[in-house]
């Protein structure tokens, strides 16, 4: 059936001239971890969801929740090599959120 392979994000890929959205490419990712402003804007255009920038406030419930979730992911869902690599995306994100 023609067009069945274009489900979900495939349609956005074709609408964007055959390029994936910025939040999935290097242009939308921050060097220090997470998404940059362009990546968050691209994500919002594609999905309609909003992503906020990381917070370093020690009293922020959002920060505490993120650190608890990502710390658990790092422990259980990554390889030992990735967990030790300071340049892995998960370690960069944890540093950015001051976890």
**What DSSP string runs through the chain?**
-TTTT--THHHHHHHTTT---GGGSGGGB-TTSSB-HHHHHHHHHHHS---PPP---TT-HHHHHHHHHHHHHHHHHS-HHHHH-TTSHHHHHHHHTT-
Whether residue 4 is contained in a domain is answered as no
Please say if the pLDDT value at position 8 is more than 90.
no
Domain that holds residue 92: 61-96
For the chain, how many structural domains are there in total? 2
pLDDT at residue 68, rounded to an integer? 93
Q: Read off the pLDDT of residues 17-75 as tens digits, 9 standing for 90 and up.
A: 667 887 788 788 878 878 888 889 988 888 888 888 888 888 889 999 999 998 888 88
Angle at which helix 89-96 crosses helix 61-77, to 10 degrees, equals 160
Model confidence at 16, pLDDT cuts 50, 70, 90, reads: low
Whether residue 54 is contained in a domain is answered as no
Please say if the pLDDT value at position 9 is more than 70.
no
* Positive or negative torsion for Cα 14, 20, 23, 24: positive
Please say if the pLDDT value at position 95 is more than 80.
yes
Whether residue 78 is contained in a domain is answered as yes
Looking at the structure, tell me whether residues 42 and 69 fall in a common domain: no
Whether residue 33 is contained in a domain is answered as yes
pLDDT at residue 76, rounded to an integer? 85
Looking at the structure, tell me whether residues 42 and 13 fall in a common domain: yes
Return d(Cα 22, Cα 74) in angstroms, integer. 25
Question: Does 86 or 31 have the greater pLDDT score?
Answer: 86
């Amino acid at each position: 059936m023609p067009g069945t392979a274009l489900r979900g994000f495939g349609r956005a890929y074709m609408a964007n001239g055959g390029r994936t959205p910025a939040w999935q490419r290097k242009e939308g990712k921050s060097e220090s971890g997470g998404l940059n402003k362009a990546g968050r804007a691209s994500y919002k255009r594609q999905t309609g969801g909003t992503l906020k920038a990381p917070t370093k406030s020690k009293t922020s419930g959002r920060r505490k929740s993120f650190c608890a979730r990502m710390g658990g992911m790092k422990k259980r869902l990554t390889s030992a090599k990735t967990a030790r690599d300071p340049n892995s995306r998960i370690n960069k994100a944890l540093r950015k959120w001051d976890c």
